[in-house]
Amino acid sequence: MLKFYISSANPHCEINSYLLTYLERELKGIKGILETDTPDSADIIIIGTCVVDATNENISRETLINLRKRYPNKRVYVAGCLSNFDPHFIKANKFDVFDKNKILAECYRKNVERIPMVSLLNRYCDEEILRNENYFLSRRENIFYINISEGCTNACSYCAIKIAKGDIRSIPIESIIEQLEENKNLIAGNFICLLADDCGSFGIDNNESFPELLIKIKKKISCEYKLIIHYWFPLHFLNQFKMIPAEIWKRIHYINIPLQSCSDRILKLMNRNYSVSDVLDAINSIKKINPGIKLVTHIIYGFPSETIDEFKESFHLVSVFDRIIFSCYSDRKGTRASHIKGKISENEKMRRTVLILKEQEKYKQIRITESDIFKKSLTRIK
């Protein structure tokens, strides 16, 4: 019997969770292969990683290094962005790059040849290995996730994901419709989550487009469902929202439109060339069609040269969005933003984090992602 262990170093990344959940289901479907609850008893370990910010990158590295120390000879597959972002790290620590087909082939091969289980060098396992027991896969049974594309057509100056994933690669609309049709029984009465680094970039590599996809889904999938759209780059959203008929807007339950800043000046430095007021006007017209729609956005605070007034401007978003997720800026290796002058000091970032925490007490919409600055700021409040 071959045993595998699968988990994510960043369970908040929907794209990672999707990939790992998909692979987990495939592996569990193979006779003679078992999933284990701890890496301790597994023959192969698969870990989802994330480089969206320095905190998540560090958690991913620490998780992998801990695993390697405990299991020097085990095969550890690295899924998610870290493998492309830092291939030297992967090679130096003898990890394998996640490749769904390669893993499945290995499982089949091992199973057929009845290779004995790898002898365990260290049976000790505690939460520290994965840093936190919450780093398990998130499963939401009433959502049918479908990863429609990888990468994007944009070039945000701070983005490490783009370095890791590169240009857009989309699944053809026909294949997406086929998958949805095959799973109509799961979809009926539930949610379809269209997942991508940027749904707005979808299809450009195939001469197709995101509005075209939404229109085809509406035409071909006749059962009742609601749509969730995970990440729609604001500039593409602005160019595309009018192409989507009202009857489709009424089916959209939730959209994540990451504004990242409320200052047009900072957005220019981020190389995200849209105007905040244009995006908010577009959202307003959508709310007229579908008043119940749920809207989520992300804000990066402490971007180089951001003034305190530009930062505070983001608090006004509570009147528009159902959730505003704040993340503290950190320099990422190889990005243009890491060379922009006017770095915000650690103390100032801490001061702004404390302000966010205070706003969070007033408004339930406000959330903040954990980082070293966040932890230090909590200590300051106490």
279 binds ligand SF4 (CB under 6 A): no
210 binds ligand SF4 (CB under 6 A): no
233 binds ligand SF4 (CB under 6 A): yes
CA–CA gap between residue 169 and residue 167 (Å, rounded): 7
Q: Which residue from 20, 156, 227, 262 is in contact with ligand SF4, where contact means CB under 6 A?
A: 156
Nearest to 170 by CA among 136, 191, 193, 194: 194
SS3 343: coil
Q: Which two tokens stand for residue 286?
A: 């959508």
CA–CA gap between residue 240 and residue 213 (Å, rounded): 12
The stretch among 58-66, 113-121, 153-161, 372-380 that binds ligand SF4 (CB under 6 A) is: 153-161
**What are the start-end ranges of the H helices in 203-345?**
210-220, 234-240, 246-249, 264-269, 276-289, 308-313
Least Å from the CB of residue 279 to ligand SF4: 14
SS3 307: coil
Least Å from the CB of residue 268 to ligand SF4: 14
199 binds ligand SF4 (CB under 6 A): no
Q: List 226's β-bridge partners, or say none.
A: 191
249 binds ligand SF4 (CB under 6 A): no
110 binds ligand SF4 (CB under 6 A): no
161 binds ligand SF4 (CB under 6 A): yes
229 binds ligand SF4 (CB under 6 A): no
Q: Which residue from 154, 263, 297, 371 is in contact with ligand SF4, where contact means CB under 6 A?
A: 154
String of contacts with ligand SF4 for each residue 314-353, x by CB under 6 A: ----------------------------------------
CA–CA gap between residue 312 and residue 328 (Å, rounded): 14
Phi, psi of 140, deg, nearest 5: -120, 105
The stretch among 85-93, 130-138, 156-164, 203-211 that binds ligand SF4 (CB under 6 A) is: 156-164
Q: Which two tokens stand for residue 347?
A: 């103390």
In terms of CB distance, is 67 or 79 closer to ligand SF4?
Answer: 79
Q: List 49's β-bridge partners, or say none.
A: 80
In terms of CB distance, is 211 or 258 closer to ligand SF4?
Answer: 258
Rg (CA), the chain: 22
Amino acid at position 335, single letter: T
Least Å from the CB of residue 336 to ligand SF4: 11
The stretch among 16-24, 115-123, 152-160, 180-188 that binds ligand SF4 (CB under 6 A) is: 152-160
86 binds ligand SF4 (CB under 6 A): no
Number of DSSP helices (H) and strands (E) in the chain, helices first: 16, 14
Q: Which residue from 54, 159, 195, 317 is in contact with ligand SF4, where contact means CB under 6 A?
A: 159
Residues 2-61 that bind ligand SF4 (CB under 6 A): none
**Residues contacting residue 327 through CB under 8 Å, at least 6 positions apart:** 52, 53, 298, 299, 300, 301, 368, 369, 371
Nearest to 341 by CA among 309, 305, 306: 305
Beta strands in 86-137 (DSSP E): 96-97
241 binds ligand SF4 (CB under 6 A): no
297 binds ligand SF4 (CB under 6 A): no
Q: Which residue from 198, 208, 306, 359 is in contact with ligand SF4, where contact means CB under 6 A?
A: 198
**Which residues contact ligand SF4 by CB under 6 A?**
152, 154-156, 159, 161-162, 197-198, 233
